[in-house]
Amino acid sequence: MTRTPFILFDLAGATYGIPSQEVKQMEMIEQITPVPNAPPSVEGVVYSRGEVIPAMNLRVRFGFETVPLTLRSRLIIVERAGRTVGLIVDSAREFIWIPDDLIQPAPEAIVGVKGRYVEAIATLGNRLVVLIDLDEVLTLDPLYLPTSEDV
Amino acid sequence: MPFGLFNTRGTLDADLAQAREETGQLSQQANEVAALATQVNQGVDQQARSLTANAEHIGQTVASLKDSATQSESVATSTEQLVSSINEISASIDEVTDNATHLAGSVEETAAAINEMTSSIQNVAGISQEMATSATEVTSAMIEVAASLNSVSDDTDVLVSSINETAASIEEMTRSIQGVASNADDMSASAEQTSAAINQIAASVEQVTAMSQTLATGVEDVGTSIEELARSIQGVAQNAQQITDVAASAATGAEQMSRSIHSVAALAQQTDTITRRVARDAEEGGAAIQKSMQGFSRISETMTQSASVIREMGKQANEIGSIVDTINLIAERTNLLSLNASIEAARAGEAGRGFAVVAEEIRNLADRAAQATADITAIIRALQEVAQEAVSTSTEGLRVAQESGQLAEAGVSGLQKIMSGIEESTTLVGQIASATEEQRAAGQQVVDAIQTTVLQARQVAGATTEQATTVQSVVRATESMRRIAQQVAQAMGEQSHSAREIIKAAQHNTSLATRMRRATSEQAKGVNQIAQAVESMRRGAASTSRALNEQANAGTQISQEGESLARQVATINQAIREQSTATEQIRVTAEGIRQQAGQLARAMGEQNQATREMTSAAQNISRQIALLTHANRGHSTAMEQMLGELETIRQSTQQSADGSRLMQQACVSLQERAQGLDARLGRLGNGNR
C-alpha cells in the first residue's frame, strides 16, 4: 500500500495537510518586514537561509479573521514552479505518513467559491485533515504576485 | 701852493662872506620870529586871562542861576504849603460855617424851649397863687380845730376825776365780798374734810367687801384648779399607760430593726467579699487582655512576615515561569528541528529512514516537554493566584489583628473603668458596713432606752394613781371652804351698802358747801373784774386827756406851719414872677443870638468863597513859579554848556601858548646856532688869510 508524507498544520481550529515534498523547510516567525502595494494576504517578506521570501497569511487567504502571532506560529516555506513562498499558520507540529486509501476527494457539497483551495480530505481515526491545493493557494493576480526576483 | 689853489681860495672867501651874510640874515629873521613869537605869546596870555575871566563870570552866572532855581523851588514849595494851609483854612472855615449853622439851629431850638419854659413858669405862678390861697384857708381851719380840741380836753379831765371816784367805791365793795368768800371757803373746807373721813370709812368697808369677794373667788379658783389638777392627773395616768403600751411596741420594733440592721451588715460584708472577688477577676481579665494584645501584635508580625514570604514566593514563581517559557521555546524549536529533519529524511527516501525514526523520537520528546511545560505553567499560574490570595488574606488578617488589638485596648480601658468602679463600690460598701455597725449600736441603745422608758412610765402610772386619790380629798375640803367664803362675802356686801348711803349724805353736804363757795368766789371774781374795768377806764380817760392835749398842741403847730407855708408860697410866687421876667429877657436875648448866628453863618460862607479864590490864586502862582524854575533850569544848562566850550577854548589857547613858547625857544636856539656859525665862519676867514 502506498502512502504519502504530509506536514499537518492548524488554522482557525481545523487541521490541514501539505505534502512534505512541497515543503522546503519550516521556520519560527521572527520578523516580517511589510512591503508596499502587496496583496492583502501578503503580510510582507522574511529573510531565511540567505533568501528573501514573501510571507502569506493563510488566515487572510482563507477568509478567517487574523490573530496575533505566538510561540507556536509557524512559517511553512514551500517551493512551486520556481517560486518560494512562506505560509503563516497557527501551528505546525506533525509529520505524518497518510495511506492513500484514507484520502478521498473533496465532497461537492462543501465546495464553495473557496472550495478550490481544498484538494482532498484525509480521515485519521476521528480526525479530519484538509489537504489543500497549493497551486490554487499560490495563484494570485499576476499584478500582486511578487517573485523572489522582484523582491 | 699852486695857482688853482689860489683861485680856490678866492672862491672860498667869497663863499664864506656870503655864508656869513646869510647867517646874519638868518639870525636876524630868527630874531624877528622870536619877537613875533613873543608877541603871540603875549596875545595868547592875554586871551587866556580874558578866557579865565570869562569862565569865572559864567561860573558866577551859573551859580547865581542855581541859587535862583533853588530859591524859586523853595518859593514853589512854600507856595504849595501856602496852598495846602489855605485849603486847611478853607476846610476849617467850612467846619466853622457848619457849626455856625448848627448853632443857629440850636439857638432857635433854645429860643423855642425858653418860650415853653416861660409859659410853664407862668402856669406855675398861677398854681402857686392858688396854693397860697388854699394854705391860708387851711390855716384858719386848723386854728378852729385847735380851739375845739382844747374844750374837749377840759371835758375829759372832768370825766377822769369822776371815774376815779367810782373806782374807789368799787374797791371797797370788792374787799367786803372777798371777806364773805373766805368765810365760805372755810365752811367748804370743813364739809370736805367730813366727807373725806366718811369716804375713807366707806372705802375701807368696800375694800374689805372686795377682799372677801376676792377671797371667795380665790377659793373657787382653787377648787377649780384642784379639780383640773385631778383631771390632769387622771389624764397623766392614762397617758402613762399609753406610753407604757407604746414603749413596749417600740421596744419590739427596735428589736426588729436591730435584727434587720444585723442582716444588712451581714449582706454588706458579703457584698464586700463579692466585690473584692470581682476586682480580682477584673484584674485577671485585664492581664488576659494584655496577653491577648501581645498575642495580637505577634500575630501581626507573623502575618506581615508570612505576607512578605508569600510575595517572595510569587516572585520566584514568576522566575520559574520565565524559565518554563525558555523550556517551552526550546521544546518548540526542537519540534521544528525534528519536523525539518523528518522533511529532509523523507526527501532522502530509503536512506533517510533511520534518521526519520530518530527525528520522530526527538519530536515526541519535544512534544512531551512542551506538554510538561504547559502543565507547569498552569500549576505556576494557580500557585501565583493562591499566593496573591494569601497576600490579600494575610493583609486582611493583619488588619483584623490590628483592630482586635485596638478592641483589646478598649477592653483594657473598659476594665480599668470597671476596676475603678469596683474600688468605689468597695469603699462605699465599707462605708455601708461601718454605718450599719453604728446603726446597730444606736438601735441597741434605742432598745435599752425604750425599756427604761417603759419602767419609768409604769412608775409614773402608779404615782399618779396615788395622787388622784389625794386630790379627791383636797377637792372636798375646798368645797366647804368655798361655802364659808360666800357667806362672809354676803355679810360684807350688806355693810358696804350702809356705808354707801352715809357717803351719799356727806357728799350732798359737801356739794352744798362747794356750791356756796363757788358762788362767793364768782362774786369776788366779778367785783375784781369791775374794779379792773374801772381802773382801765380811768387809765383810758387819762390817756385820752393826754392825747387831746397833744392834739391841741399839734393843731396849734399845724396852724403855725400853715401860716409859714402861706408865706413861703407867696415868696415862691414872687420868685416865679421874677423868673418869668428873666425868661422873657432870655428869650429876647436868644432871638438876638439867633440873628447873629445867621449873620455869622452867612459871613463864614463869604469867607469860604474868598478862601477858595485865594486857593486858586495860590495854585496859579505855584504853576507860574514851576514854569519859572523850569526856564531857570534851562538857562543853567545852557550856561554850563557855554562854560564847557570856554574851557575847550582855554585849552586850545593854552596849547597855542605852549606852541608859541616852543617856537620862541626854537628861535633862541636858532639864533645861538646862527651866532655860533657866524663865529666859526669868522675864524675860518681868519685862518684862510
Section B234-248 average pLDDT? 73
pLDDT tier for residue B42 given thresholds of 50, 70 and 90: confident
- DSSP label at residue A71: T
CB neighbourhood size of B79 (10 A):
20
pLDDT of residue B560: 75
Section B308-314 average pLDDT? 83
CB neighbourhood size of B65 (10 A):
19
pLDDT tier for residue A45 given thresholds of 50, 70 and 90: very high
Q: Give the tens place of pLDDT for each residue, B637-669.
A: 777 887 888 788 778 878 877 887 887 788 788
Task: Tell me the pTM.
Answer: 0.37
Q: Give the tens place of pLDDT for each residue, B59-89.
A: 787 777 778 777 777 777 777 777 777 777 7
pLDDT of residue A145: 47
Interface contact flag, B343 A7, Cβ < 8 Å: yes
Say which of B329, B332, B339 has its CB closest to residue A7: B339
Say which of B332, B338, B342 has its CB closest to residue A72: B332
Is the pLDDT at A113 greater than 50, yes or no? no
Work out the minimum CA distance from B381 to partner chain A, whole angstroms: 18
Contacts of A71 in chain B (CB under 8 A): 328-329, 332
Is the pLDDT at A91 greater than 90, yes or no? yes
Contacts of B339 in chain A (CB under 8 A): 7, 26, 92-95
Is the pLDDT at A7 greater than 90, yes or no? yes
Name the percent of chain B lying above pLDDT 70.
Answer: 88
Distance CA B170, CA B163 (A): 11
Q: Which domains does chain A have, with CATH numbers?
A: 3-129 (2.40.50.180)
Contacts of B332 in chain A (CB under 8 A): 28, 71-72
Q: Give the tens place of pLDDT for each residue, B264-300.
A: 778 878 888 888 888 888 788 888 888 888 887 888 8
Q: Give the tens place of pLDDT for each residue, B593-628.
A: 777 777 777 777 777 787 778 777 777 777 777 787
Residue B472 is placed in which grid cell? 379627791
Distance CA B360, CA B484 (A): 174
Q: Give the tens place of pLDDT for each residue, B154-194.
A: 777 777 777 777 777 677 767 766 766 676 677 667 667 76
Is the pLDDT at A150 greater than 50, yes or no? no
Distance CA B99, CA B109 (A): 15
pLDDT of residue A10: 94
Distance CA B33, CA B667 (A): 7
> Between B3 and A79, whose confidence is greater?
A79
Say which of A74, A93, A95 has its CB closest to residue B343: A95
- DSSP label at residue A142: G
Q: Which domains does chain B have, with CATH numbers?
A: 4-81+595-688 (1.10.287.950)
Distance CA B132, CA B124 (A): 12
pLDDT of residue B430: 78
For residues B202 and B541, the answer to whether their CB atoms sit within 8 Å is no
* H or E segment and range at residue A79: strand A74-80
Interface of B with A in 312-371 (CB under 8 A): 328-329, 332-333, 335-336, 338-340, 342-343, 346-347, 359-360, 363, 367
C-alpha separations of B668 from B39, B658, B671 in Å: 14, 15, 5
pLDDT tier for residue A92 given thresholds of 50, 70 and 90: very high
pLDDT tier for residue B6 given thresholds of 50, 70 and 90: low
pLDDT of residue B545: 73
Is the pLDDT at B371 greater than 50, yes or no? yes
A95 to chain B: nearest residue by CA? B339
CB of B440 less than 8 A from some CB of A = no
Mutate one of A22, A95, A96, A97 to test the B interface: name it (highest B CB count within 10 A): A95
pLDDT of residue B96: 75
Section B182-210 average pLDDT? 71
pLDDT tier for residue A6 given thresholds of 50, 70 and 90: very high
Is the pLDDT at B688 greater than 70, yes or no? no
